[in-house]
């Protein structure tokens, strides 16, 4: 299958083309504010680099969250429009699962992606690596960092990745000590998203644009400000 994958959920924006589990083309960019312009340019560039046309695609993959509320909306809106125009199926992928894929390496047994959720929280979960597959052992959600770190299995080393690790590293070292392991990997995840999305589409688990839903794990600021109905 030929898959176009898009991630706009953090400032590390990326677009990739994947086929048969292999990366064909990838464009990464840093977006300190909005992805609106960069992601369109990145899609065009990936198509040019790959030598493919949009009609050649078998499907789309997109990070549905968690991450920046604005970023999630931009990515989903773009993919919905592309899917509507092309009638291609879409595979929604979690940013946490995509990040964790980067750490499936020899000797790694426990992986915890952590994304800065702002407001003193992180989006996080934990996976046990079993035969190169990820088994979820802590559910993905928005957590207080200290509370989350206490949920991790005791007496086990844990490999960490994500913007939340950068932000809360002093706390992580205080709570986990030598159990905390970091392997340098980039936070650009479109390639991993494409590979995960391809597996979903091969199983017939693609969605229509109308079925796509964001993964937030908590209310947006606008929703929090809405007065409760009496």
DSSP 114-130: EEEEETTEEEEEEEEEE
Is residue 222 over pLDDT 70?
no
Residue ranges and CATH numbers for the domains of the chain are 2-94+188-225 (3.30.420.40), 103-182 (3.30.420.40)
Q: How many CB atoms lie within 10 A of CB 33?
A: 8
136-165: pLDDT as tens digits = 999 999 999 999 999 999 989 999 999 999
CA–CA dist 158, 108 (Å, integer): 8
d(CA 28, CA 217): 26
**Tokens matching residue 31:** 């977006």
DSSP E strands: which ranges in the chain? 2-7, 12-19, 22-30, 59-65, 90-94, 110-118, 121-130, 133-143, 158-161, 180-182
Query: What integer is the mean pLDDT of 41-55?
Result: 95
pTM for this model (two decimals): 0.92
Residue 219: what pLDDT?
65
Q: What is the pLDDT of residue 225?
A: 47
Please choose, from the candidates 59, 161, 77, the residue with its C-alpha nearest in 3D space to the C-alpha of residue 114. 161
Beta pairing partners, 2: 19
- Give the residue among 133, 147, 132, 136 at the shortest CA–CA distance from 113: 136
Compute the mean pLDDT over every residue in the chain, rounded to the nearest whole number: 93
Residue 226 pLDDT grade (very low, low, confident, very high; cuts 50, 70, 90): very low
Task: Give alpha helix (H) positions in 51-105.
Answer: 69-86, 95-101
């Amino acid at each position: 299958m030929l898959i176009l994958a898009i991630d706009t959920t953090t400032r590390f924006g990326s677009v990739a083309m994947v086929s048969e589990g292999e990366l064909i083309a990838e464009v990464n960019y840093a977006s300190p504010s909005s992805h609106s312009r960069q992601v369109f340019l990145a899609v065009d560039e990936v198509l040019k680099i790959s030598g493919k046309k949009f009609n050649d695609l078998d499907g789309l993959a997109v990070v549905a969250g968690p991450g920046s509320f604005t970023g999630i909306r931009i990515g989903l809106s773009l993919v919905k429009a592309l899917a509507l125009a092309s009638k291609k199926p879409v595979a929604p992928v979690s940013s946490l699962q995509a990040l964790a894929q980067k750490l499936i390496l020899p000797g790694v047994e426990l992986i915890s992606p952590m994304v800065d959720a702002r407001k003193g929280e992180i989006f996080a979960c934990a996976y046990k690596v079993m035969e190169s597959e990820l088994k979820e052992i802590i559910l993905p959600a928005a957590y207080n960092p200290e509370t989350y770190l206490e949920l991790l299995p005791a007496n086990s080393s844990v490999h960490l990745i994500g913007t939340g690790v950068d932000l809360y590293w002093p706390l992580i070292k205080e709570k986990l000590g030598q159990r905390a392991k970091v392997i340098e990997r980039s936070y650009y995840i479109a390639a991993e998203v494409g590979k995960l999305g391809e597996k979903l589409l091969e199983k017939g688990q693609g969605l229509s644009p109308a079925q796509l839903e964001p993964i937030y794990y908590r209310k947006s600021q606008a929703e929090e400000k809405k007065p409760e109905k009496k």
